[in-house]
A and B are shown apart, each in its own frame.
Chain A
């Protein structure tokens, strides 16, 4: 049994954020699922231990060689699941160094920028790399991401993460100011994404980085004034199909609820013997599955402005 498991480990590809593998190996990044909205990333290392509120996980025995999706019983008797990393799980577990983009916006950006395997994408700023991982997943194995981050420490940190997640062959991180120096590439991109405070200053660089055949651009801004300036800059630079949207996620929590029934008193019109039998008990109620909205929801993340660069 153990032998076959080991054989399998040797034959499967190593885990990465752009390729599934079945078994957990030394050096993987696994997502530990402790419960809804309670997850954490773990760097799997022979001999290492991780503390959770349900007890300790010993990597060598609890993780390495186990199948992704397995249940792990911890020292205190509690248990958890170990999940294969995906950009979506990474988004909810990654260490924040900046504000990040969440899956709802990311999904919209990915589709409306028309990203697919082989796409060449320019992005700035890299920030905490939430969107970057999703882009890399979508453009692999033949695309490339050129990402620009002017904060040196953040640029270095995210580069390190790309290596750990085995996607570094698909991405180039540049530590420069996109508004002044652009993306460091010209006429290669199919799509450009901007998440910076003054995107209008980078619109001309976005245009320069896009292919001669044209391409798509998206800018994410929290404030409407930023959107207005960006739209003007896009018009100035000859972009077409300019469109601004906002996408909001609504989560529906499924619950069981009890609706008590009022007692109307005895019904004189009912058959006398019938009524005697059917007198409802004092606390009659109906059980129903319903959904409730969460108490607090994100009401605004940012406006997404899309545009097409025509062929030049």
Chain B
């Protein structure tokens, strides 16, 4: 038993180039481990090199920019109060209770005192600490710890941690999607290994990454993207193994109409007069201008290297080389185009069967047209989930779906998330809670009713008995 633990451990160690999450208190930050890279987190700066080889979830002490694994907790018993008051009737706020001045504290810091030691000094020099109640003392220590303890924990990324991080740090980037709402989306869409899922998101890739995590590298995900290219910054932070990326496909939403009409051309040799390939090329150009790859940099480097080495060469030679380079560049571009076309063809092939197993939409775009367009790619009896920061566009989606038919089980919901402080004799809900985590419309596809076209709005409800419902929902 103990033997295979060693093997497992290699998976738990921090490696160079790993994507990790830094944690201090409730604050998270996603970074990549790179040598000599300075990281600033929570007003502290440090280098991550020392973390390499350490186990995930290790807490480090920051000593002048260097991470040192914290020794096994020397429990806080030293700061545990022996004396405590019962109430605050004799505590007066005169601003003089702390005998240490700001300068004194700065000096202590400069002397390289550990956070724990500074806190001890603060307690010893506080004239009111002993009169405070046990609870107030605990609160005081907690507050000071937050300020003076220079620690950071390095975690392995997960959907839970990244969703909390984005919601805490950059909610605007993820359309204010709260993590409990993301949890609902993943469950309501029945995301699991082996299925074929369509995703349309503008949440920095967080939703896409969460879906990929739940699929574990089994099945396929087609990311429908707007504009020049898919945004996947958040996906990278998950640090998925390479084979996960084989299951990820992408399809530009601007080709959806062509695909539905059967006019999308993905054949190997696009004729120059084909409109579709023109669009594809244009698309690619946009893509390239938007996301300059390393390639141009590389060629520049090559250029300078070449000019250095061939400084005494004749002009003819230089010209020749220039032409060669141009050719190579054109070749490269062609290759890239071909790759892109292959990718498009692969994604189109996945979509063409119109038998996807799930659809997730979470974007800043109007959800209604997106939903109506993409729903067509779903097999019957499959779940779909639409997220929106606001309720009103989802009401519109609901109404449209009811009119159109082809779906059942429609539900427009949102969730409340309440955190609790649970401490002996001090249990209560947290004073602050998140006001809004967005709204979710979910449902299940069914086969379209082809026999009767007229009055579908009414016939969508199963029976005359349910007239009450039709009246209110129709």
A residues apposed to B, CB below 8 Å = 18-20, 22, 33-36, 53-54, 67-71, 78-84, 86-88, 103-104, 106-108, 110-112, 114, 116-118, 134, 137-138, 140-142, 187, 211-214, 224, 227-228, 231-232, 242-256, 289-291, 303, 305, 308, 310-311
Contact = CB atoms under 8 A, between A and B. Distances in A.
B160 interface: yes
- Report, as a range, how many residues of chain B touch the other chain: 35 or more
B420 A117 contact: no
A227 B426 CA distance: 13
Majority SS at the chain A contact face: mixed
Interface of B: 1, 5, 8-9, 12, 55, 57, 158-160, 163, 179-180, 182-184, 186-188, 190, 192-195, 213-218, 355, 357, 379-383, 391, 395-396, 398-399, 408-409, 411-420, 422, 424, 427, 439, 444-447, 449, 461-463, 465-466, 469, 472-474
Contact of B379 (A22, A212, A250, A311): A22
B163 A69 contact: no
Given A18-B194, A213-B9, 4 more contacts: A70-B446, A103-B188, A107-B187, A250-B414
Given A108-B183, A246-B420, A35 B469 contact: yes
Contact of A117 (B215, B357, B415): B215
Contact of A69 (B195, B380, B469): B380
A118 B380 CA distance: 28
Contacts of B398: 254
A255 B472 contact: yes
By DSSP majority rule, is chain B's interface helix, strand, loop, or mixed? mixed
Given A117-B216, A311-B57, A54 B187 contact: no
A116 B193 CA distance: 9
A248 B473 CA distance: 24
B183 A140 contact: no
B469 A252 contact: no
A112 B218 CA distance: 22
Contacts of A250: 413-416
A71 B447 contact: yes
B180 to A, nearest CB: 5
B13 to A, nearest CB: 11
Contact of B12 (A20, A213, A231, A246): A213
Contacts of B382: 20, 69, 84
A310 B72 CA distance: 12
12 contacts: A34-B462, A35-B469, A79-B462, A84-B381, A107-B183, A213-B12, A227-B420, A227-B427, A228-B424, A242-B422, A245-B418, A245-B419
